[in-house]
Amino acid sequence: MTLDDLSRAAGVSKSMLSEIERDKANPTIAVAWRLTNALGVSLDSLFAAPKPPEAIAVSGPHDIPTLSGHDAKYQLRVWGPIELAGKFEWYELTLQPGGALVSNAHEPGTREHLTVLQGSIEIEAAGAAKRLKVADTARYVADEPHAIRNVGKGEAKALLVVIHG
């Protein structure tokens, strides 16, 4: 969300937001309430003591974000926790027949590791292409354009791990 977006959504001037951000002004409870509402956070969460992490945290299917590329015929289920995004990520990738996940280059040094769980998948990276079957794992550079394609007749599934450089 940009400063402009937050200003409009909360009804708080950009100059006030800037002063709050730079610790030059303290927001009133009313301003804090408008900001938390605009950000989708409860006001009382600002004052609550942080909860210690659970020994075992369980996420149900409804807690797992899913990204769909309808035209490209793929679905990515985000299994990794959000706090690791940009460092280490893992996904369940489902590709319909003819589906593809085509990616631009990630930051320098990024590598992907893909293990086929079902179907037949082709990986294209660094000017090369490799076909994989169930239980095969491909490890490849992802800091240049790359693609994952379902080359089989049925649905394909894979575990995709991204390690950012």
pLDDT tens for 78-126 read: 998 878 878 899 999 999 999 999 999 999 999 999 999 999 999 999 9
- Domain of 155, CATH number, reads 2.60.120.10
Give yes or no for a contact between 134 and 116, defined as CB atoms under 8 angstroms apart. yes
How far apart, in whole angstroms, are the C-alpha atoms of residue 162 and residue 165? Answer: 10
Regarding whether 71 and 41 lie in a shared domain, the answer is no
H or E stretch covering 36: helix 29-39
pLDDT tens for 23-76 read: 888 887 778 888 888 888 877 777 667 778 889 988 888 888 888 887 889 999
Residue 142 within any structural domain of the chain: yes
**What is the pTM for the complete model shown?**
0.68
Structural domain for 119, as ranges: 61-163
Regarding whether 98 and 39 lie in a shared domain, the answer is no
Residue 55 within any structural domain of the chain: no
Give yes or no for a contact between 62 and 33, defined as CB atoms under 8 angstroms apart. no
Regarding whether 85 and 11 lie in a shared domain, the answer is no
How far apart, in whole angstroms, are the C-alpha atoms of residue 80 and residue 60? Answer: 13
Residue 116 within any structural domain of the chain: yes
Regarding whether 66 and 33 lie in a shared domain, the answer is no
Regarding whether 68 and 105 lie in a shared domain, the answer is yes
Regarding whether 78 and 16 lie in a shared domain, the answer is no
